[in-house]
A and B are shown apart, each in its own frame.
Chain A
């Protein structure tokens, strides 16, 4: 008699490489990747707050790191990731109300997430930000 608690081979789905990438699947994994990226941004947010609470010297050091070229590139990427995740998340919340599941609306909302929301909002946020910074 076989041991019922022993490890038995579980059924596996085909590997991801076997599928042609589609907008739906790409946006699905992008929502996860941007979520992980934004977790790192949350760490930076806390470092920023701690530096501000520590004093002017620590705050200036963190501000300097963010103002540097690598810092600015990472901040720009983070802004894009934020708007992608925000729009992807709102898309999920709409789905949770059992709306927008038809193939046409799935693709329409998908492209809306990428183009209108993420790209335009990132550009708008940075134009206003640079204008404010003078």
Chain B
């Protein structure tokens, strides 16, 4: 326990105050944001470049090592950032019993979508 804790014994017992995980959350949100600046700009530029291309040329592009590595890194950073951001939005605005369910669904959904996107990218890189 922090010796400089100024809370009363009662407040400590009820568990009021900081959960002591805020800095880690804040820092992870910034680190993923820094990663997403170049990665999302790459994605937008790539989508623009691919906007006229057919299936074969799109697969050929995503199958190149640089594109598939960038896509996987993007998916990791994107869904990490999304999970952290949506968690704050839910914690701020959902106060009913649905808050717990929403937090769990968001976290699991982000992990599931990131995994699905990475597997799809790997399939294109190694099988197609």
Contacts and interface: CB of A to CB of B under 8 A. Distances in A.
Given A39-B85, A42-B78, A46-B117, A132 B40 contact: no
Contact of B14 (A4, A39, A89, A129): A4
B30 A96 contact: yes
Contact of A53 (B48, B78, B82, B120): B120
Contact of B123 (A32, A53, A82, A128): A53
Nearest to A43: B113
Contacts of B30: 93, 96
Contacts of B85: 35, 39
B44 A79 contact: yes
A73 interface: no
A60 B51 CA distance: 13
B89 interface: yes
A45 B36 CA distance: 15
Contacts, number: 83
Determine the main DSSP class of B at the interface with A: helix
Interface residues of A, number: 33
Nearest to A128: B48
Interface string B55-80: 10011001000000001000100110
Contact of B86 (A36, A52, A90, A134): A36
24 contacts: A32-B89, A35-B85, A35-B86, A39-B82, A39-B85, A39-B86, A42-B79, A46-B113, A46-B114, A46-B116, A46-B117, A46-B120, A49-B124, A50-B116, A50-B117, A52-B55, A52-B120, A53-B121, A60-B55, A79-B44, A86-B41, A93-B33, A125-B44, A132-B48
Interface of B: 10, 14, 30, 33-34, 36-37, 40-41, 43-44, 47-49, 51-52, 55, 58-59, 62, 71, 75, 78-79, 82, 85-86, 89, 113-114, 116-117, 119-121, 123-124, 128
Q: Across chains A and B, which 7 residue pairs bring their CB atoms closest together, nearest first?
A: A53-B120, A49-B120, A133-B52, A46-B117, A129-B48, A53-B123, A133-B51
Given A38-B82, A45-B117, 9 more contacts: A42-B78, A46-B113, A46-B114, A46-B117, A49-B116, A53-B120, A79-B44, A90-B37, A93-B33
